[in-house]
Amino acid sequence: MREDINDYTQFLTGEKISMENIYKIALAFFIIAIVFVSGISLLMYFVSQDLGGRVSLIKNSHDKIPSEILVEITADDFNRYPQLKELFENIDESRGEFVSTVSVQGKAIDEIMEKYKYKTLLWNGSYYDILVARS
């Protein structure tokens, strides 16, 4: 077997290569492959990071809303999520179905979605549902 490898390497390079050198070359290729795969994985991780999205308000016209899905928006909510404050301050009911829309960047969209999805929001005596569209 060793003679076959030496014959092959001699055929390729014109000189004999020791088994020790073959192992070193194989180890070098293995390390390069690991570094390459790790780099690609790290690049994909950063590329797939959440870039945010759009949050929209829809006017809810139902008369009876169960208390377990009702959330009253407060100043604390606005302090925690400035985009939410912008969303509610820019309500224009003449715009049609989506009465307000705002862009949200980064992880804030995850937090807003987690806290307010499947909830009806009460603000200034009106009821709204929130819709999140990710980028």
pLDDT in tens, 115-124: 888 899 888 8
Count the helix, strand and coil residues of the chain and give each as a percent rounded to the nearest 5. 50, 20, 25
Q: Are residues 68 and 36 in the same domain?
A: no
Q: Are residues 78 and 120 in the same domain?
A: yes
Is it the case that residue 130 has pLDDT exceeding 80?
yes
Q: Are residues 63 and 125 in the same domain?
A: yes
What local confidence, expressed as pLDDT, does residue 35 receive? Answer: 94
pLDDT interval class at 34 (50, 70, 90)? very high
Query: What is the distance between the alpha carbons of residues 52 and 66, in angstroms, rounded to a whole number?
Result: 30
What percent of the chain is predicted at pLDDT more than 70? 84
Is it the case that residue 15 has pLDDT exceeding 80?
no
Q: Are strands 120-123 and 126-134 parallel, antiparallel or unpaired?
A: antiparallel
SS3 state at 27: helix
The range of the structural domain enclosing residue 113 comes to: 53-134
Number of domains in the chain: 2
Q: Are residues 36 and 62 in the same domain?
A: no
What local confidence, expressed as pLDDT, does residue 4 receive? Answer: 56
Q: Are residues 12 and 60 in the same domain?
A: no
